[in-house]
């Protein structure tokens, strides 16, 4: 884990568990030398960076050495306007209207541990020995601007975190117009770029394509991380597979608008950058003030995409997610949304809870429709008072009735929103995001509360905390069902309006910190029309997210597979819903739906009171089985075996850290006549151990299972599946 300093070569060598990252100061500029497999300290690292004059059009940054130019030098945090024509890491506007700054090395500091980021979520350590941090201070001597590049490396993870702190040490006000979290120059561009794309109900599908001259850019301008694109990008070699080859992951711990870009320049180098989206962003830095960027988490793996994913999973599960629920097994729940939508009363809710109790379910979640006069989605958001028409005894009475059945009680909120048809909006029409003299565009017949305002946050805190103190709630589903339009705040002056979206996120994070700290025993689950805000920033406050509003099991194979590229299974909510499915009208078996949902945080979202005895029997067995395997599903190492993006079959498995136990899940979407005898090659087992297949099945060697595979050809019919448990034997 140590960070070494070679004073002779002005070189910094950062070593994580399995990777090295090397920075060198070249004539005052912070140059990037290397990122990849771990290197020995003491080998000749000082001569790795080579310089040469590449073109007569290359500007001479260093007049007395024409081989050095920012146009060709691989850099740690590039600037624009002083000879580098590639995408910059930052840009600042001065009072005289110019946009030129030039950062050179001033100092550095190395210390044990990892600092918190002021007002922002970030990966953390529990003991100083877990990480070491380098702060590299660069300065622009004309303006007094100082930029601190912060790098933390970990002893137990092949991960490096990067963030940037801007400090205005001069006498004039600066306007920060671009402030990315990380920029990294690769020596060549023989890579493929990989990212996650989609839409509502079709989130996080894997995209992979070759880099070419020019830019591959993804991002969100929606005010949230979005259904459409996720704040993650990876570079992989063309030959990289799920199990072998180089993979470089870049993940942003932020829930607002973001940008990630891979640029190939004229000489074949590739620059990858990630951070807050600079579109419509500006931040005023007065003398003496600072600005902190969100954190980027870099992971390198030479064990393919699976190795990269498992590094992210272990890191995010144990050092991003927090609180008492981080390491606990998550409860099996029943949610009433697709069972009743807005049409329910206390008796109906109690009836569903009783049916769930008989199956062994542990938690009931009351979804939308319990407050104000919320009979459909066009009113009452913001009026967080129970509807006594539906709940004559109020929430406390309903919670006790549910708890009397043996289930815990959970509740849905959408705290960041307001309905124009609400008492809150009629009292405070200026509390929503809006700009003067323009329409207030509605989506889902609602507007967004301005979380940059302290009075708005105070109101939301008071309403929610009053409920949490007086109702025995074990779980909260925190929803957010639209993206930002007319981004402006009545509480900010004209020259700060482009700060609104980021101030919103800082305000939201502050509110979440306050609430989750004050009510630590509540399990919070994030939701945004399903997976519209499935990002590391939100996981810092809520350790799980509703993966998608699409509960069709076939669609969920792709959604959950793609999500697992970065995010641990313990963060993924996965439910069995009714058929025909409410999103795609597909009918699949209860067993198939259950097997897909049991590959995440398991639950049901339908009317249990309408089930046949056969369905109840199947579900009771699913609940019983999941209670036995959920520790391994939620906390084990995930190995993806067959991709739903590449064929008719999907397979993944979960392996305990000591490799003494494993679970294989196999899914076949469509039946084939006279198909081949299918075997699935397993992964992650101990080649030297023998494993019993199922409770009383054959014993096979781990080496055999990984090399020759396990037969799975006995399935029949469309939408078929199986899972099997493997245990090591002496």
Residue 1 has pLDDT above 70, yes or no: no
Average pLDDT over residues 690-718: 93
Quick one: three-class SS letters along 230-248?
Answer: CCEEEEECCCCCCCCECEE
pTM of the model: 0.97
> Which letter does DSSP use for residue 565 in this model?
T
Residue 175 has pLDDT above 80, yes or no: yes
The structure tokens listed for 504 are: 């919103």
Catalytic residue among 450, 549, 552, 595: 549
Distance in angstroms (rounded) separating the CA atoms of residues 726 and 661: 6
Catalytic residue among 450, 479, 535, 637: 479
The structure tokens listed for 484 are: 């930002």
Average pLDDT over residues 596-621: 97
> pLDDT tens-digit profile of 322-346?
999 999 999 999 999 999 999 999 9
Distance between start and end Cα atoms, the chain: 36
- Average pLDDT in the chain: 96
Q: Which residues touch 96 (CB under 8 Å, ≥6 apart)? A: none
CB-based contacts of 46-49 (< 8 A; 24+ apart in sequence): 46/6, 46/8, 46/9, 46/11, 48/22, 49/24, 49/74
Strand residue runs (E) in 459-511: 475-478
> Which letter does DSSP use for residue 57 in this model?
T
- The count of residues in the chain is 730
Upper half-sphere CA count for residue 326 (Cβ side, 13 Å): 17
Distance in angstroms (rounded) separating the CA atoms of residues 19 and 184: 15
For residue 293, the model assigns a pLDDT of 98
Single out the residue of 244, 214, 247, 211 nearest to residue 232, CA to CA.
Answer: 247
Single out the residue of 540, 9, 557 nearest to residue 322, CA to CA.
Answer: 540
Helix (H, G, I), strand (E, B) or coil at 314: helix
> pLDDT tens-digit profile of 59-101?
888 888 888 888 889 999 999 988 889 999 999 999 999 999 9
> pLDDT tens-digit profile of 364-408?
999 999 999 999 999 999 999 999 999 999 999 999 999 999 999
Residue with tokens 């009053």: 466
Distance in angstroms (rounded) separating the CA atoms of residues 329 and 211: 41
Instruction: Please say whether the dihedral angle defined by the alpha carbons of residues 63, 68, 71 and 73, taken in this order, is positive or negative.
Output: negative
> pLDDT tens-digit profile of 202-261?
999 999 999 999 999 999 999 999 999 999 999 999 999 999 999 999 999 999 999 999
Cis bond upstream, residue 580 (ω within 30) = yes
> Which letter does DSSP use for residue 586 in this model?
-
Q: Which residues touch 404 (CB under 8 Å, ≥6 apart)? A: none
Q: Is 549 a catalytic residue?
A: yes
Helix (H, G, I), strand (E, B) or coil at 307: helix
For residue 53, the model assigns a pLDDT of 74
Helix (H, G, I), strand (E, B) or coil at 33: strand
CA distances from 415 to 161, 277, 369, 418, 451 (A): 31, 25, 14, 8, 10
Upper half-sphere CA count for residue 39 (Cβ side, 13 Å): 19
Helix (H) or strand (E) holding 598: none
The DSSP-derived string for 106-171 is EEEEEEES-PPBTTB-----SSGGGEEEEEEEEEETTTTEEEEEEEEEESSSSEEEEEEEEEE-SS
> pLDDT tens-digit profile of 409-449?
999 999 999 999 999 999 999 999 999 999 999 999 999 99
> pLDDT tens-digit profile of 20-66?
999 999 999 999 999 999 999 876 788 888 877 777 788 888 888 88
Helix (H) or strand (E) holding 224: none
Single out the residue of 363, 346, 329 nearest to residue 570, CA to CA.
Answer: 329
Distance in angstroms (rounded) separating the CA atoms of residues 692 and 654: 15
Residue with tokens 């007086």: 470
Helices marked H in 664-729: 702-707
Phi/psi of residue 466, nearest 5 degrees: -60, -40
Helix (H, G, I), strand (E, B) or coil at 337: helix
Distance in angstroms (rounded) separating the CA atoms of residues 269 and 69: 14
% of the chain at pLDDT higher than 90: 92
Q: Is 686 a catalytic residue?
A: no
Number of H helices, E strands in the chain: 12, 38
Average pLDDT over residues 530-552: 97
Strand residue runs (E) in 187-241: 192-199, 202-210, 214-219, 232-236
Helix (H) or strand (E) holding 531: none
Q: Sort residue 214 into left (φ over 0), alpha (ψ -120 to 50) or beta.
A: left
Single out the residue of 269, 268, 266, 236 nearest to residue 250, CA to CA.
Answer: 236
Burial tier of 16 (Cβ tally within 10 Å: 0-12, 13-18, 19+): buried
Residue 461 has pLDDT above 70, yes or no: yes
Question: Quick check: 565 and 515 in contact, CB under 8 A?
Answer: no
């Amino acid at each position: 884990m140590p960070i070494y300093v070679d004073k002779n070569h002005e070189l910094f060598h950062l070593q994580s568990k399995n990777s090295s990252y090397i920075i060198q100061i070249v004539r005052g500029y912070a140059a990037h030398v290397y990122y990849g497999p771990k290197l020995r300290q003491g080998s000749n690292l000082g001569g790795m960076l080579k310089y040469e004059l590449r073109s007569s059009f290359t500007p001479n940054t260093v007049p007395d050495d024409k081989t050095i130019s920012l146009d060709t030098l691989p850099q740690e945090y590039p600037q624009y306007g002083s000879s580098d024509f590639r995408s910059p890491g930052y840009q600042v506007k001065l009072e005289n209207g110019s946009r030129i700054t030039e950062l050179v090395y001033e100092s550095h500091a190395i210390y044990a541990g990892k600092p918190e980021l002021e007002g922002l979520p970030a990966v953390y350590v529990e003991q100083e020995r877990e990480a070491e941090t380098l702060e590299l201070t660069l300065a622009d001597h004309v303006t007094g601007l100082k930029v601190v590049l912060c790098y933390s490396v970990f002893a137990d993870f092949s991960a490096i975190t990067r963030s940037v702190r801007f400090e205005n040490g001069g006498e004039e006000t600066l306007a920060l117009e671009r402030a990315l979290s990380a920029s990294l120059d690769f020596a060549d561009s023989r890579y493929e770029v990989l990212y996650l794309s989609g839409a509502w109900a079709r989130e996080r599908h894997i995209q992979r394509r070759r880099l070419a001259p020019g830019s591959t850019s993804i991002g969100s301008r929606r005010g949230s991380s979005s259904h459409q694109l996720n704040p993650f990008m990876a570079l992989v070699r063309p030959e990289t597979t799920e199990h072998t080859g180089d993979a470089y992951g870049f993940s942003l711990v932020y829930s607002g608008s973001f940008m990630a870009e891979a640029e190939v320049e004229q000489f074949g180098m590739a620059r990858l950058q990630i951070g807050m989206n600079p579109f419509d962003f500006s931040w005023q830095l007065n003398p003496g003030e600072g600005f902190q960027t969100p954190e980027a988490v870099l992971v390198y793996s030479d064990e393919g995409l699976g190795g990269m994913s498992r590094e992210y999973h272990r890191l995010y599960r144990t050092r991003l997610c927090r609180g008492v629920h981080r390491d606990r097994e998550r409860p099996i729940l029943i949610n009433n949304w697709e069972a009743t939508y807005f049409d329910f009363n206390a008796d109906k809710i109690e009836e569903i809870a009783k049916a769930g109790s008989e199956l062994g379910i542990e938690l009931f979640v009351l979804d939308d429709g319990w407050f104000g006069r919320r009979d459909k989605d066009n009113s009452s958001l913001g009026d967080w008072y129970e509807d006594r028409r539906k709940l004559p005894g109020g929430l406390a009475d309903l919670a006790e009735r549910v708890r009397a059945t043996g289930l815990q009680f959970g509740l849905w909120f959408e705290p960041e929103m307001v309905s124009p048809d609400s008492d809150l909006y009629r009292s405070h029409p200026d509390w929503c995001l809006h700009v003067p003299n323009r329409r207030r565009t509605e989506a889902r017949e609602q507007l967004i509360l301005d979380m940059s305002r302290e009075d708005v946050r105070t109101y939301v805190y008071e309403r929610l905390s009053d409920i949490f103190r007086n109702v025995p709630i074990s779980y909260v589903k925190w929803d957010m069902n639209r993206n930002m339009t007319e981004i402006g705040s009545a509480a900010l002056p004209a020259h700060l309006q482009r700060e609104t979206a980021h101030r919103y996120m800082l305000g939201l994070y502050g509110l979440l910190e306050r609430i989750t700290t004050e009510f630590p025993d509540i399990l919070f689950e994030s939701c945004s029309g399903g997976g519209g805000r499935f990002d590391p920033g939100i996981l810092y406050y809520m350790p799980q997210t509703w993966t998608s509003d699409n509960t069709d099991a076939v669609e969920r194979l792709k959604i959950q597979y793609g999500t697992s590229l970065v995010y641990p299974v313990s963060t993924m909510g996965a439910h069995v819903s009714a058929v025909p499915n409410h999103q795609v009208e597909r009918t699949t078996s209860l067993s198939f739906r259950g097997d897909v949902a049991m590959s995440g945080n398991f639950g049901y979202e339908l009317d249990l009171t309408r089930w046949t005895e056969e369905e109840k029997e199947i579900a009771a067995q699913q609940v019983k089985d999941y209670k036995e395997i959920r520790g391994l599903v939620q906390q084990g190492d995930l190995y993806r075996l067959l991709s739903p993006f590449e064929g008719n079959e999907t397979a993944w498995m979960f392996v305990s850290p000591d490799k003494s136990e494993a679970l294989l899940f196999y899914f076949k979407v469509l039946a084939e006549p006279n198909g081949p005898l299918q075997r699935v090659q397993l992964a992650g087992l101990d080649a030297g151990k023998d494993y019993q297949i199922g409770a009383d099945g054959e014993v096979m060697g781990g080496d055999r299972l990984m090399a020759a595979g396990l037969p799975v050809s006995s399935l029949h019919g469309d939408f078929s599946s199986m899972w099997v448990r493997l245990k090591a034997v002496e």
